[in-house]
Structure formats: C-alpha cells, structure tokens
Amino acid sequence: MRCIRKNCKNYAEIHPLYGTIPCEACRQEKDGSIPSRRKFQFANIGKLHRVQAQRDAHLADLLQPFEGNRPNVDFFKNYPDKVDDYQVRGELEKI
C-alpha cells in the first residue's frame, strides 16, 4: 500500500485508529513544520531587531561630546541639537 499523497513514493502507514494514513514525511509536511519554523524565524528576527535597537540606543548614551579636546563627531551625529550648546559647529566642519 502506497502513501495516498500525490507524487509520494513512500509506503503508507497503518494507524490502529485511523487505518491507512500518509507516510511520515507527508504527515510532517502537513503538520505544518514549515509554517511553524517560519513563525519562529520571524520571532527571532523581531527579537534581534529589538536587541539591536537597544544596543544602538545604549551606544548613543555612552557617547561623550568630546574625545580629548576634539568634539566627538558621533556624539553630535546622535545629538545634532547639541552642536550649538557646545559651540562646536566650526570645529565639526573642520573634521
């Protein structure tokens, strides 16, 4: 007895309750292991994005307005409104 699925060359299985059922490979396909794996992947990507966003926010927090006696370009990229507070516009244009 062959598996009842189209294009399937495996043997069907006999279930004590349901009788002839598709082979294991077909049942797994039908059980939706692909959609659930996809769902898992999306969850992971979302989580990664959150972690990355948190990391970015954190990096900006750690930035200091000055590196030694030079204005820190990355700091003022993150806080452009601070450029005039620190009166470094001319300095930044030189960098």
Binding site for Zn ion (CB under 5 A): 3, 5, 8, 10, 22-23, 26
Nearest distance in Å: CB 35, Zn ion:
19
Nearest distance in Å: CB 12, Zn ion:
7
Q: CA–CA separation, 77 vs 93, rounded Å?
A: 12
Residue with tokens 């969850």: 43
By beta-carbon proximity to Zn ion, the closer residue of 8 and 63 is: 8
By beta-carbon proximity to Zn ion, the closer residue of 8 and 73 is: 8
Tokens read off for 55: 């990391």
By beta-carbon proximity to Zn ion, the closer residue of 10 and 36 is: 10
Neighbouring CB atoms inside 10 A of 82's CB total 13
Let me know how many helices (H) and strands (E) the chain has, helices first: 4, 4
Nearest distance in Å: CB 13, Zn ion:
9
